[in-house]
């Protein structure tokens, strides 16, 4: 069943579209804008399929100063799909996570100077991961082939109704220039690379998080967190340990591959060149530097 939604865009114009009943509503995004934020909250901002689960687990371990896996999944603190009244029951400090773009971020995150961790991933791998997510989770009536799916990602609103990937990362780039001390930007590819190197080299991004968040973890613990949060170990923990009442289909795996460069198995040369042109047009004069292979 579908319903209609009207959304006021940043320029004041109205966007109207159809969506699967229960996924989003204008009431939800208004409540998120006015969501009451605590002083010790952490806000994890990501475009879909960019490493949200991964970094959420790392932050939780840093906060707890422990490598014990959190039994609850990050969806308990997921602003997009939760009745946000339930978030008041979560103990502090909370790691709130959300896919909404900067202009729909809770106002108090910005006004109170809450620490923001933003994870971004190269667009081509996002496309492939999003294709499999939509197809396997049956969230929407996904087109049958990647060739049919890719043009959707290049539209004004991408797979996510509020903005395209390019608009999303551009908004946070602008915010970072204005508020460099409030936000830490992490690349999925850097995180992936650190887990492919020796343990001595594998703590760089986690060390950055530890310093930025002021969690005070010692080097030995950071190395243990790096090992506990390898993609393989998190995939195993998600399947065997986690309590996930939001998982409708037990066959659906949130941790699919986590590779950098998987896009090469799906994109034709023409499609890759088309995306390169689209990025150049939609991210003019950007200082962001994405990697498409390791």
- How confident is the chain (294 residues) per 10-residue block, as mean pLDDT? 41 44 52 92 95 93 94 86 84 93 94 97 94 66 72 78 88 97 95 63 84 96 91 80 60 61 94 97 94 90
pLDDT on residue 28: 66
pLDDT on residue 1: 36
Residues 6+ apart with CB under 8 A from 116: 42, 43, 44, 45, 109, 182, 183, 184
Task: Give the SS3 label for residue 287.
Answer: coil
* Phi, psi of 54, rounded to the nearest 5 degrees: -60, -55
> What residues form DSSP beta bridges with 5?
17
Work out the number of other CB atoms within 10 angstroms of the CB of residue 210: 22
**52-64 vs 231-240: helix crossing angle, rounded to 10:** 90
Distance CA 82, CA 69 (A): 22
pLDDT on residue 60: 96
pLDDT on residue 8: 41
pLDDT on residue 22: 36
For residues 101 and 33, the answer to whether their CB atoms sit within 8 Å is: no
Distance CA 18, CA 190 (A): 37
CATH class held by domain 2-282 = alpha beta
Work out the number of other CB atoms within 10 angstroms of the CB of residue 12: 6
> What residues form DSSP beta bridges with 4?
18
Work out the number of other CB atoms within 10 angstroms of the CB of residue 87: 17
Distance CA 267, CA 282 (A): 20
Task: Give the SS3 label for residue 260.
Answer: coil
pLDDT on residue 84: 81
Distance CA 115, CA 268 (A): 40
Distance CA 58, CA 198 (A): 18
Work out the number of other CB atoms within 10 angstroms of the CB of residue 258: 20
Distance CA 46, CA 181 (A): 18
């Amino acid at each position: 069943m579908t319903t209609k939604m009207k959304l006021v865009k940043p320029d004041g114009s109205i966007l109207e579209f159809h969506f699967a009943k229960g996924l989003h509503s204008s009431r939800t995004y208004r409540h998120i804008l006015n969501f009451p934020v605590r002083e010790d909250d952490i806000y994890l901002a990501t475009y879909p399929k960019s490493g949200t689960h991964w970094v959420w687990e790392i932050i939780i371990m840093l906060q707890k100063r422990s490598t014990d896996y959190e039994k609850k999944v990050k969806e308990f603190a997921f602003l997009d799909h939760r009745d946000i009244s339930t978030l008041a029951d979560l103990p502090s400090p909370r790691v709130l996570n959300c896919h909404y773009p900067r202009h729909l971020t809770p106002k108090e995150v910005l006004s109170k100077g809450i620490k923001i961790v933003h994870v971004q991933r190269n667009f081509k791998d996002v496309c492939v991961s999003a294709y499999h997510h939509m197809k396997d989770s049956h969230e929407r009536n996904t087109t049958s082939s990647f060739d049919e799916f890719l043009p959707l990602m290049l539209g004004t609103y991408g797979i996510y109704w509020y903005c395209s990937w390019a608009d999303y990362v551009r908004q946070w780039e602008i915010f970072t220039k204005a508020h460099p001390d409030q936000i830490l930007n992490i690349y999925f590819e850097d995180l992936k690379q650190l887990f492919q190197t020796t343990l001595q080299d594998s703590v760089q991004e986690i060390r950055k998080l530890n310093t930025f968040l002021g969690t005070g973890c010692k080097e030995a613990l950071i190395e243990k967190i790096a090992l506990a949060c390898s993609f393989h170990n998190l995939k195993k923990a998600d399947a065997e340990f986690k309590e996930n009442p939001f998982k409708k289909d037990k066959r659906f795996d949130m941790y699919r591959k986590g590779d950098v460069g998987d896009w090469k198995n799906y994109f034709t040369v023409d499609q890759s060149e088309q995306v390169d042109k689209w990025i150049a047009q939609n991210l003019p004069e950007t200082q962001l530097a994405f990697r498409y292979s390791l």
